[in-house]
Protein backbone atom coordinates (compact mmCIF):
# COMPACT_ATOMS: atom_id res chain seq x y z
CA UNK A 1 0.00 0.00 0.00
CA UNK A 2 1.27 3.47 -0.90
CA UNK A 3 1.84 5.61 2.19
CA UNK A 4 3.14 9.16 1.85
CA UNK A 5 3.49 12.05 4.26
CA UNK A 6 3.68 15.81 4.52
CA UNK A 7 5.78 16.86 7.50
CA UNK A 8 5.88 20.64 7.95
CA UNK A 9 7.50 22.55 10.80
CA UNK A 10 5.00 24.90 12.50
CA UNK A 11 7.29 27.92 12.30
CA UNK A 12 5.23 29.95 9.80
CA UNK A 13 2.32 29.83 7.40
CA UNK A 14 1.72 27.16 4.73
CA UNK A 15 3.64 28.64 1.80
CA UNK A 16 3.35 27.90 -1.90
CA UNK A 17 6.30 25.48 -1.97
CA UNK A 18 4.99 23.50 0.99
CA UNK A 19 1.51 23.40 -0.50
CA UNK A 20 2.85 21.95 -3.75
CA UNK A 21 4.80 19.29 -1.84
CA UNK A 22 1.66 18.37 0.10
CA UNK A 23 -0.36 18.32 -3.13
CA UNK A 24 1.97 15.95 -5.00
CA UNK A 25 1.97 13.58 -2.02
CA UNK A 26 -1.82 13.80 -1.74
CA UNK A 27 -2.34 13.16 -5.47
CA UNK A 28 -0.09 10.09 -5.34
CA UNK A 29 -1.93 8.71 -2.32
CA UNK A 30 -5.35 9.29 -3.87
CA UNK A 31 -4.32 7.88 -7.25
CA UNK A 32 -3.09 4.68 -5.60
CA UNK A 33 -5.85 4.49 -2.98
CA UNK A 34 -3.15 4.83 -0.36
CA UNK A 35 -2.75 6.93 2.78
CA UNK A 36 -1.71 10.57 3.13
CA UNK A 37 -0.19 11.25 6.56
CA UNK A 38 0.22 14.69 8.13
CA UNK A 39 3.02 14.91 10.68
CA UNK A 40 4.06 18.03 12.58
CA UNK A 41 7.83 18.35 13.04
CA UNK A 42 7.79 20.71 16.01
CA UNK A 43 11.28 20.10 17.43
CA UNK A 44 12.32 23.74 16.96
CA UNK A 45 10.61 24.84 20.15
CA UNK A 46 11.94 28.39 19.98
CA UNK A 47 10.12 29.02 16.67
CA UNK A 48 7.21 26.56 16.68
CA UNK A 49 3.83 28.11 17.48
CA UNK A 50 0.26 26.94 17.85
CA UNK A 51 -0.75 29.73 15.46
CA UNK A 52 1.52 28.39 12.72
CA UNK A 53 0.29 24.85 13.28
CA UNK A 54 -3.30 26.04 12.87
CA UNK A 55 -2.41 28.06 9.76
CA UNK A 56 -0.92 24.93 8.15
CA UNK A 57 -3.99 22.86 9.02
CA UNK A 58 -6.35 25.59 7.80
CA UNK A 59 -4.37 25.95 4.56
CA UNK A 60 -4.51 22.23 3.79
CA UNK A 61 -8.21 22.09 4.61
CA UNK A 62 -8.97 25.06 2.36
CA UNK A 63 -7.08 23.43 -0.52
CA UNK A 64 -9.08 20.24 0.01
CA UNK A 65 -5.99 18.16 0.84
CA UNK A 66 -7.55 15.94 3.48
CA UNK A 67 -5.27 13.62 5.43
CA UNK A 68 -5.97 10.04 6.49
CA UNK A 69 -3.78 10.14 9.61
CA UNK A 70 -2.44 13.01 11.65
CA UNK A 71 -3.55 15.89 13.88
CA UNK A 72 -7.31 16.23 14.38
CA UNK A 73 -8.14 12.87 12.72
CA UNK A 74 -5.71 10.66 14.72
CA UNK A 75 -4.63 7.26 13.45
CA UNK A 76 -2.84 4.02 14.34
CA UNK A 77 0.62 5.64 14.46
CA UNK A 78 -0.22 8.48 16.83
CA UNK A 79 1.06 10.77 18.16
CA UNK A 80 1.76 12.81 15.02
CA UNK A 81 3.77 15.54 16.75
CA UNK A 82 7.50 14.90 17.11
CA UNK A 83 7.76 16.46 20.58
CA UNK A 84 5.28 13.81 21.78
CA UNK A 85 7.46 11.01 20.37
CA UNK A 86 10.73 11.53 22.29
CA UNK A 87 10.62 8.07 23.89
CA UNK A 88 10.48 6.52 20.41
CA UNK A 89 13.61 8.36 19.28
CA UNK A 90 15.42 7.40 22.48
CA UNK A 91 14.59 3.73 21.94
CA UNK A 92 15.93 3.76 18.37
CA UNK A 93 19.06 5.67 19.41
CA UNK A 94 19.78 3.06 22.09
CA UNK A 95 19.39 0.33 19.48
CA UNK A 96 21.96 2.04 17.24
CA UNK A 97 24.38 2.45 20.16
CA UNK A 98 24.01 -1.24 21.04
CA UNK A 99 24.74 -2.15 17.41
CA UNK A 100 27.86 0.04 17.33
CA UNK A 101 26.24 2.31 14.75
CA UNK A 102 26.02 5.34 17.07
CA UNK A 103 27.78 6.62 20.17
CA UNK A 104 27.49 9.21 22.90
CA UNK A 105 29.64 12.32 22.60
CA UNK A 106 30.41 14.80 25.36
CA UNK A 107 32.57 17.21 23.37
CA UNK A 108 31.83 20.74 24.56
CA UNK A 109 30.75 23.62 22.39
CA UNK A 110 34.08 25.30 23.06
CA UNK A 111 36.02 22.26 21.82
CA UNK A 112 33.92 22.04 18.66
CA UNK A 113 34.22 25.79 18.02
CA UNK A 114 38.01 25.50 18.19
CA UNK A 115 37.93 22.67 15.65
CA UNK A 116 35.70 24.72 13.34
CA UNK A 117 38.02 27.73 13.60
CA UNK A 118 40.99 25.52 12.79
CA UNK A 119 39.19 24.11 9.74
CA UNK A 120 38.37 27.66 8.60
CA UNK A 121 42.01 28.72 8.96
CA UNK A 122 43.08 25.72 6.92
CA UNK A 123 40.37 26.54 4.36
CA UNK A 124 38.66 23.18 4.59
CA UNK A 125 35.16 22.14 5.54
CA UNK A 126 34.55 21.13 9.14
CA UNK A 127 34.06 17.43 9.84
CA UNK A 128 33.70 16.06 13.34
CA UNK A 129 36.90 14.00 13.77
CA UNK A 130 35.35 11.19 15.81
CA UNK A 131 36.89 12.13 19.16
CA UNK A 132 34.27 10.16 21.14
CA UNK A 133 33.83 7.26 18.72
CA UNK A 134 35.46 4.71 21.01
CA UNK A 135 34.78 6.23 24.44
CA UNK A 136 31.70 4.08 25.26
CA UNK A 137 30.19 6.83 27.42
CA UNK A 138 27.38 5.56 29.70
CA UNK A 139 23.75 6.67 29.44
CA UNK A 140 23.21 9.76 31.56
CA UNK A 141 26.62 11.31 30.84
CA UNK A 142 26.07 15.04 31.50
CA UNK A 143 25.64 17.06 28.30
CA UNK A 144 26.18 14.07 26.04
CA UNK A 145 24.59 13.94 22.59
CA UNK A 146 24.25 10.88 20.38
CA UNK A 147 26.16 10.81 17.09
CA UNK A 148 25.61 8.47 14.14
CA UNK A 149 28.75 6.61 13.04
CA UNK A 150 29.10 7.28 9.31
CA UNK A 151 31.11 4.81 7.20
CA UNK A 152 34.59 6.06 6.35
CA UNK A 153 34.71 4.50 2.90
CA UNK A 154 32.41 3.63 0.04
CA UNK A 155 29.40 5.45 -1.36
CA UNK A 156 25.61 5.51 -1.18
CA UNK A 157 23.59 5.57 -4.40
CA UNK A 158 19.85 5.97 -4.69
CA UNK A 159 17.43 6.44 -7.57
CA UNK A 160 15.39 9.60 -7.19
CA UNK A 161 12.01 9.50 -8.98
CA UNK A 162 12.56 13.07 -10.20
CA UNK A 163 16.32 13.59 -10.41
CA UNK A 164 17.48 10.12 -11.38
CA UNK A 165 20.48 8.33 -9.87
CA UNK A 166 22.44 10.23 -7.19
CA UNK A 167 25.67 9.05 -5.57
CA UNK A 168 27.36 10.43 -2.46
CA UNK A 169 30.84 9.43 -1.32
CA UNK A 170 30.94 8.56 2.39
CA UNK A 171 34.15 10.56 2.85
CA UNK A 172 31.99 13.68 2.32
CA UNK A 173 29.95 12.84 5.44
CA UNK A 174 30.79 13.07 9.12
CA UNK A 175 29.42 11.66 12.36
CA UNK A 176 26.44 13.96 12.77
CA UNK A 177 24.42 14.46 15.93
CA UNK A 178 21.13 12.57 15.82
CA UNK A 179 19.89 13.15 19.38
CA UNK A 180 20.55 16.23 21.49
CA UNK A 181 21.37 16.01 25.19
CA UNK A 182 17.73 16.92 26.01
CA UNK A 183 16.44 13.93 24.01
CA UNK A 184 15.16 15.96 21.05
CA UNK A 185 16.08 14.44 17.66
CA UNK A 186 17.73 16.33 14.85
CA UNK A 187 16.00 16.38 11.48
CA UNK A 188 17.56 13.39 9.73
CA UNK A 189 17.10 10.96 12.60
CA UNK A 190 13.62 12.15 13.58
CA UNK A 191 12.40 11.90 10.00
CA UNK A 192 13.82 8.40 9.52
CA UNK A 193 12.37 7.05 12.77
CA UNK A 194 8.95 8.55 12.07
CA UNK A 195 8.89 7.39 8.45
CA UNK A 196 9.76 3.88 9.63
CA UNK A 197 7.17 3.86 12.41
CA UNK A 198 4.49 5.33 10.12
CA UNK A 199 5.30 2.84 7.33
CA UNK A 200 6.01 5.52 4.73
CA UNK A 201 6.76 3.99 1.31
CA UNK A 202 7.67 7.18 -0.58
CA UNK A 203 9.34 10.33 0.77
CA UNK A 204 8.51 13.26 -1.55
CA UNK A 205 9.90 16.62 -0.45
CA UNK A 206 11.81 19.69 -1.62
CA UNK A 207 15.16 19.21 -3.31
CA UNK A 208 16.92 21.11 -0.54
CA UNK A 209 16.74 17.73 1.23
CA UNK A 210 18.74 15.83 -1.41
CA UNK A 211 21.87 16.21 0.73
CA UNK A 212 20.06 14.57 3.66
CA UNK A 213 18.98 11.48 1.74
CA UNK A 214 22.28 9.50 1.74
CA UNK A 215 22.62 10.16 5.48
CA UNK A 216 19.07 8.93 6.04
CA UNK A 217 19.58 5.85 3.87
CA UNK A 218 22.56 4.88 6.04
CA UNK A 219 20.35 5.29 9.11
CA UNK A 220 17.62 3.07 7.60
CA UNK A 221 20.24 0.42 6.94
CA UNK A 222 21.69 0.69 10.45
CA UNK A 223 18.20 0.35 11.94
CA UNK A 224 17.62 -2.68 9.67
CA UNK A 225 14.51 -1.21 8.04
CA UNK A 226 13.46 -1.14 4.37
CA UNK A 227 14.38 2.04 2.50
CA UNK A 228 11.48 4.00 0.98
CA UNK A 229 11.50 5.56 -2.46
CA UNK A 230 12.53 9.21 -2.73
CA UNK A 231 11.32 12.05 -4.92
CA UNK A 232 12.85 15.51 -4.57
CA UNK A 233 10.87 18.40 -6.00
CA UNK A 234 12.70 21.38 -7.50
CA UNK A 235 12.28 24.71 -5.78
CA UNK A 236 9.89 27.44 -6.92
CA UNK A 237 11.42 30.71 -8.11
CA UNK A 238 10.07 34.21 -8.58
CA UNK A 239 10.14 35.98 -11.95
CA UNK A 240 13.66 37.23 -11.11
CA UNK A 241 14.81 33.59 -10.81
CA UNK A 242 15.41 34.02 -7.09
CA UNK A 243 13.82 31.70 -4.53
CA UNK A 244 10.16 32.62 -4.02
CA UNK A 245 9.71 34.93 -1.04
CA UNK A 246 7.47 37.68 0.31
CA UNK A 247 9.01 40.23 -2.05
CA UNK A 248 7.40 38.37 -4.96
CA UNK A 249 3.91 38.94 -3.53
CA UNK A 250 1.63 36.66 -1.56
CA UNK A 251 3.25 33.36 -0.68
CA UNK A 252 0.86 32.20 2.05
CA UNK A 253 -1.85 29.87 0.82
CA UNK A 254 -4.47 31.57 3.00
CA UNK A 255 -3.58 34.94 1.47
CA UNK A 256 -4.82 33.58 -1.86
CA UNK A 257 -8.06 32.56 -0.19
CA UNK A 258 -8.44 36.11 1.13
CA UNK A 259 -7.61 37.50 -2.33
CA UNK A 260 -10.56 35.67 -3.87
CA UNK A 261 -8.93 32.64 -5.47
CA UNK A 262 -10.77 29.33 -5.70
CA UNK A 263 -8.94 26.48 -3.91
CA UNK A 264 -9.31 24.25 -6.97
CA UNK A 265 -7.68 26.90 -9.15
CA UNK A 266 -4.66 27.15 -6.86
CA UNK A 267 -4.39 23.35 -6.73
CA UNK A 268 -4.61 23.24 -10.54
CA UNK A 269 -1.88 25.88 -10.89
CA UNK A 270 0.44 24.29 -8.33
CA UNK A 271 0.07 20.89 -9.98
CA UNK A 272 1.21 22.34 -13.30
CA UNK A 273 4.09 24.17 -11.61
CA UNK A 274 6.59 21.38 -12.11
CA UNK A 275 4.40 18.62 -13.60
CA UNK A 276 3.08 18.38 -17.14
CA UNK A 277 0.45 16.39 -18.99
CA UNK A 278 0.74 17.32 -22.63
CA UNK A 279 -0.49 20.83 -23.36
CA UNK A 280 -3.45 20.63 -20.98
CA UNK A 281 -3.60 23.57 -18.56
CA UNK A 282 -6.96 23.28 -16.81
CA UNK A 283 -7.73 20.13 -14.82
CA UNK A 284 -10.49 19.06 -12.50
CA UNK A 285 -9.27 17.61 -9.21
CA UNK A 286 -10.33 14.15 -10.37
CA UNK A 287 -8.32 14.54 -13.58
CA UNK A 288 -5.25 15.51 -11.56
CA UNK A 289 -5.65 12.40 -9.40
CA UNK A 290 -5.99 10.16 -12.45
CA UNK A 291 -3.21 11.75 -14.53
CA UNK A 292 -0.52 12.58 -11.96
CA UNK A 293 2.72 10.63 -12.16
CA UNK A 294 6.36 11.16 -11.14
CA UNK A 295 7.63 10.52 -14.64
CA UNK A 296 6.43 13.95 -15.79
CA UNK A 297 7.62 15.96 -12.78
CA UNK A 298 10.41 18.21 -14.05
CA UNK A 299 13.81 18.32 -12.39
CA UNK A 300 14.29 22.04 -13.04
CA UNK A 301 12.99 24.83 -10.84
CA UNK A 302 9.54 26.22 -11.67
CA UNK A 303 8.89 29.96 -12.01
CA UNK A 304 5.87 31.25 -10.15
CA UNK A 305 3.76 33.43 -12.46
CA UNK A 306 0.99 35.43 -10.70
CA UNK A 307 -0.59 36.36 -14.05
CA UNK A 308 -0.84 32.70 -15.06
CA UNK A 309 -2.40 31.86 -11.70
CA UNK A 310 -4.93 34.67 -12.21
CA UNK A 311 -5.78 33.26 -15.65
CA UNK A 312 -6.24 29.76 -14.22
CA UNK A 313 -8.50 31.20 -11.52
CA UNK A 314 -10.54 33.00 -14.16
CA UNK A 315 -10.99 29.74 -16.09
CA UNK A 316 -12.12 27.99 -12.91
CA UNK A 317 -14.63 30.73 -12.13
CA UNK A 318 -16.06 30.40 -15.65
CA UNK A 319 -16.39 26.62 -15.38
CA UNK A 320 -17.75 26.36 -11.83
CA UNK A 321 -21.56 26.15 -11.42
CA UNK A 322 -23.06 29.59 -10.57
CA UNK A 323 -24.55 28.23 -7.34
CA UNK A 324 -21.06 27.29 -6.09
CA UNK A 325 -19.59 30.67 -7.08
CA UNK A 326 -22.53 32.39 -5.39
CA UNK A 327 -21.95 30.47 -2.17
CA UNK A 328 -18.21 31.15 -2.21
CA UNK A 329 -18.62 34.86 -2.98
CA UNK A 330 -21.71 35.48 -0.85
CA UNK A 331 -23.85 36.76 -3.73
CA UNK A 332 -26.99 35.60 -5.53
CA UNK A 333 -26.62 32.81 -8.13
CA UNK A 334 -28.08 35.14 -10.76
CA UNK A 335 -25.41 37.77 -10.13
CA UNK A 336 -22.69 35.11 -10.01
CA UNK A 337 -23.79 33.89 -13.44
CA UNK A 338 -23.57 37.47 -14.76
CA UNK A 339 -20.04 37.98 -13.47
CA UNK A 340 -18.51 34.59 -14.27
CA UNK A 341 -17.34 35.42 -17.78
CA UNK A 342 -15.31 38.45 -16.74
CA UNK A 343 -14.36 38.10 -13.05
CA UNK A 344 -10.73 37.28 -12.31
CA UNK A 345 -11.40 36.46 -8.66
CA UNK A 346 -14.21 36.22 -6.12
CA UNK A 347 -13.38 39.61 -4.64
CA UNK A 348 -14.26 41.28 -7.94
CA UNK A 349 -17.66 39.59 -7.77
CA UNK A 350 -18.15 40.63 -4.14
CA UNK A 351 -17.13 44.22 -4.85
CA UNK A 352 -19.38 44.45 -7.89
CA UNK A 353 -22.30 43.04 -5.90
CA UNK A 354 -21.76 45.56 -3.13
CA UNK A 355 -21.42 48.37 -5.65
CA UNK A 356 -24.18 47.55 -8.12
CA UNK A 357 -26.78 45.52 -6.27
CA UNK A 358 -26.72 46.20 -2.53
CA UNK A 359 -27.09 50.01 -2.24
CA UNK A 360 -30.22 51.89 -3.23
CA UNK A 361 -28.04 54.20 -5.31
CA UNK A 362 -24.61 53.27 -6.68
CA UNK A 363 -21.35 54.99 -5.81
CA UNK A 364 -20.74 57.14 -8.87
CA UNK A 365 -17.41 57.32 -10.69
CA UNK A 366 -17.15 61.09 -11.16
CA UNK A 367 -15.15 60.79 -14.38
CA UNK A 368 -17.84 58.55 -15.83
CA UNK A 369 -20.54 60.96 -14.66
CA UNK A 370 -18.78 63.95 -16.23
CA UNK A 371 -18.49 62.15 -19.56
CA UNK A 372 -21.83 60.32 -19.77
CA UNK A 373 -24.37 62.23 -17.67
CA UNK A 374 -24.54 65.53 -19.55
CA UNK A 375 -27.19 67.88 -20.92
CA UNK A 376 -26.57 66.29 -24.33
CA UNK A 377 -27.28 62.78 -23.06
CA UNK A 378 -30.26 63.77 -20.89
CA UNK A 379 -32.85 63.27 -23.69
CA UNK A 380 -31.37 59.83 -24.43
CA UNK A 381 -31.56 58.91 -20.76
CA UNK A 382 -35.19 60.00 -20.56
CA UNK A 383 -36.11 57.91 -23.60
CA UNK A 384 -34.16 54.96 -22.23
CA UNK A 385 -36.11 55.27 -18.97
CA UNK A 386 -39.34 55.02 -20.90
CA UNK A 387 -38.06 51.95 -22.79
CA UNK A 388 -37.10 50.23 -19.52
CA UNK A 389 -40.47 51.06 -17.97
CA UNK A 390 -42.30 49.68 -21.00
CA UNK A 391 -40.32 46.47 -21.60
CA UNK A 392 -38.91 45.44 -18.18
CA UNK A 393 -41.45 42.67 -17.58
CA UNK A 394 -40.58 41.08 -20.93
CA UNK A 395 -36.99 40.44 -19.87
CA UNK A 396 -33.41 41.48 -20.78
CA UNK A 397 -33.69 40.59 -24.47
CA UNK A 398 -36.79 42.74 -24.93
CA UNK A 399 -35.06 45.67 -23.20
CA UNK A 400 -32.02 45.29 -25.44
CA UNK A 401 -34.23 45.13 -28.55
CA UNK A 402 -36.00 48.34 -27.48
CA UNK A 403 -32.65 50.07 -26.89
CA UNK A 404 -31.37 49.02 -30.32
CA UNK A 405 -34.52 50.31 -32.01
CA UNK A 406 -34.23 53.60 -30.13
CA UNK A 407 -30.55 53.99 -31.03
CA UNK A 408 -31.32 53.26 -34.68
CA UNK A 409 -34.03 55.93 -34.69
CA UNK A 410 -31.52 58.45 -33.38
CA UNK A 411 -28.81 57.34 -35.80
CA UNK A 412 -26.57 56.20 -32.95
CA UNK A 413 -24.62 53.09 -32.07
CA UNK A 414 -26.01 51.08 -29.15
CA UNK A 415 -23.09 52.13 -26.94
CA UNK A 416 -23.95 55.82 -27.24
CA UNK A 417 -27.33 55.07 -25.67
CA UNK A 418 -26.30 52.27 -23.32
CA UNK A 419 -23.31 53.99 -21.67
CA UNK A 420 -25.27 56.86 -20.04
CA UNK A 421 -27.77 54.27 -18.79
CA UNK A 422 -24.94 52.06 -17.52
CA UNK A 423 -23.47 54.95 -15.53
CA UNK A 424 -26.92 55.89 -14.21
CA UNK A 425 -27.66 52.33 -13.12
CA UNK A 426 -24.23 51.07 -11.94
CA UNK A 427 -22.26 54.28 -11.34
CA UNK A 428 -19.50 53.28 -13.77
CA UNK A 429 -18.83 52.60 -17.45
CA UNK A 430 -17.62 49.04 -16.73
CA UNK A 431 -20.15 46.57 -15.35
CA UNK A 432 -21.68 43.16 -15.89
CA UNK A 433 -24.02 42.93 -18.91
CA UNK A 434 -26.34 45.94 -18.65
CA UNK A 435 -29.76 44.44 -19.30
CA UNK A 436 -29.17 41.42 -17.06
CA UNK A 437 -28.00 43.81 -14.33
CA UNK A 438 -31.19 45.85 -14.73
CA UNK A 439 -33.23 42.64 -14.45
CA UNK A 440 -31.39 41.74 -11.22
CA UNK A 441 -31.87 45.22 -9.74
CA UNK A 442 -35.61 45.16 -10.33
CA UNK A 443 -37.75 47.70 -12.14
CA UNK A 444 -38.41 50.08 -9.24
CA UNK A 445 -34.78 50.35 -8.14
CA UNK A 446 -33.52 50.74 -11.71
CA UNK A 447 -35.94 53.57 -12.41
CA UNK A 448 -35.01 55.25 -9.12
CA UNK A 449 -31.36 55.17 -10.17
CA UNK A 450 -32.14 56.62 -13.60
CA UNK A 451 -34.24 59.34 -11.96
CA UNK A 452 -31.38 60.15 -9.58
CA UNK A 453 -29.03 60.46 -12.56
CA UNK A 454 -31.46 62.80 -14.31
CA UNK A 455 -31.54 64.91 -11.15
CA UNK A 456 -27.73 65.12 -11.19
CA UNK A 457 -27.84 66.48 -14.75
CA UNK A 458 -30.19 69.29 -13.69
What's 379's domain CATH number? 1.10.10.350
Residue 240 domain flag: no
Residue 95 domain flag: yes
Which residues are identified as catalytic?
A: 246
Three-state secondary structure string covering the chain: CCEEEECCCCCCCCEHHHHHHHHHHHHHHHHCCCEEEECECCCCCCCCCHHHHHHHHHHHHHHCCCCCEECCCECCCCCCEHHHCHHHHHHHHHHHHHCCCEEEECCCHHHHHHHHHHHHHCCCCCCCCCCCCCCCCCCCCCCCEEEECCCCCCEEEEEECCCEEEEEEHHHCCCCEEECCCCCECHHHHHHHHHHHCCCCEEEEEHHHHHHHHHHHHHHHHHCCCCCEEEEECCEECCCCCECCHHHCCCEHHHHHHCCCCHHHHHHHHHHCCECECECCCCCHHHHHHHCCCCCECCCCEECCHHHHHHHHHHHHHHCCHHHHHHHHCCCHHHHHHHCCCCCCHHHHHHHHHHHHCCCCCCCCHHHHHHHCCCCCHHHHHHHHHHHHHHHHHCHHHHHHHHHHHHHHCCCCHHHHHHHHHHHHHCCCCCCCHHHHHHHHCHHHHHHHHHHHHHHHC
Residue 256 domain flag: no
Residues 54 and 203 in one domain: yes
When divided into structural domains, the chain yields a total of 2
Which of 193, 212, 233 is at the close of a domain? Answer: 233
Which of 203, 233, 263 is at the close of a domain? Answer: 233
User: What range defines the domain where residue 448 resides?
Assistant: 359-456
Residues 34 and 179 in one domain: yes
Which of 187, 202, 233 is at the close of a domain? Answer: 233
pTM of the model: 0.89
CATH assignment of the domain containing 26: 3.40.50.620
Q: Render each residue's pLDDT in the chain as its tens digit; 458 residues.
A: 999 999 999 999 999 999 999 999 999 999 999 999 999 999 999 999 999 999 999 999 999 999 999 999 999 999 999 999 999 999 999 999 999 999 999 999 999 999 999 989 988 889 999 999 999 999 999 999 999 999 999 999 999 999 999 999 999 999 999 999 999 999 999 999 999 999 999 999 999 999 999 999 999 999 999 999 999 999 999 888 888 876 776 679 999 999 999 999 999 999 999 999 999 999 999 999 999 999 999 999 999 999 999 999 999 999 999 999 999 999 999 999 999 999 999 999 998 898 888 888 888 899 999 999 999 999 999 999 999 999 999 999 999 999 999 999 999 999 999 999 999 999 998 888 999 999 999 999 999 999 999 999 87
Residue 376 domain flag: yes
Residue 27 domain flag: yes
Residue 420 domain flag: yes
Residue 38 domain flag: yes
Residues 179 and 42 in one domain: yes
Residue 288 domain flag: no
Amino acid sequence: MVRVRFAPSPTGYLHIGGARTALFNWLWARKNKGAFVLRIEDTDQSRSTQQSEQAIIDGLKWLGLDWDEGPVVGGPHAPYFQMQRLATYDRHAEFLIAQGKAYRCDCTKEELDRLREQAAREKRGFKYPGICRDKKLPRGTPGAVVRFRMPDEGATTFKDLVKGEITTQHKELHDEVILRSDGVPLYNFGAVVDDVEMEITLVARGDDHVVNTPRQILMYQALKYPIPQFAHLPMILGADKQRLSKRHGAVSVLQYRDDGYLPGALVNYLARLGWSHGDQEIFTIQELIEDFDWEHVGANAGVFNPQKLEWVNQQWIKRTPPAEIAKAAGVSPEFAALMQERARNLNEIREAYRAYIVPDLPAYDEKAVAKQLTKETRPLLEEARTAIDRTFEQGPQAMEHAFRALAEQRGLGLGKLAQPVRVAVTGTTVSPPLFETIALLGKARTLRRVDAALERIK
